[in-house]
Amino acid sequence: MGWAGVKNGKLLALAGIHFDAFVTVDKNMPFQQNLATLAVALVVLDSFSNELQALLPLLPELERVLGALKPKTFAIIGSASS
């Protein structure tokens, strides 16, 4: 998509053009961005690790949340203690 090197709000703005949600492991992102100005929902996967093995158990909840999430909102899935 040619997005290499694009960061922060610009990345979320681009994502909002092409996608309904942006999924990240960056726990600070909802507090660093003004979601009210974006056309995309934000989902944070909160796990003890960002390795695939640690994130896979979060997928059923991610699927449920994605079905109900609205633009300009965010959800946190999981917990660092999981």
> CB neighbours of 15 closer than 8 A, spacing ≥ 6?
22, 40
Average pLDDT of the chain, as a whole number: 86
Query: How do residues 29-69 score in pLDDT, each as one tens digit?
Result: 888 888 888 888 899 999 999 999 999 999 999 999 999 98
User: What's the confidence (pLDDT) of residue 34?
Assistant: 81
Q: Which tokens go with 14?
A: 């681009």
Q: Are 40 and 19 in contact (CB under 8 A)?
A: yes
- Which pLDDT band, with edges at 50, 70 and 90, does 82 fall under? very low
Residue 58 near residue 45 (C-beta atoms within 8 A): yes
Longest dimension (CA), the chain: 36
The predicted model scores a pTM of 0.82
Cα 7 from Cα 71, distance rounded (Å): 19
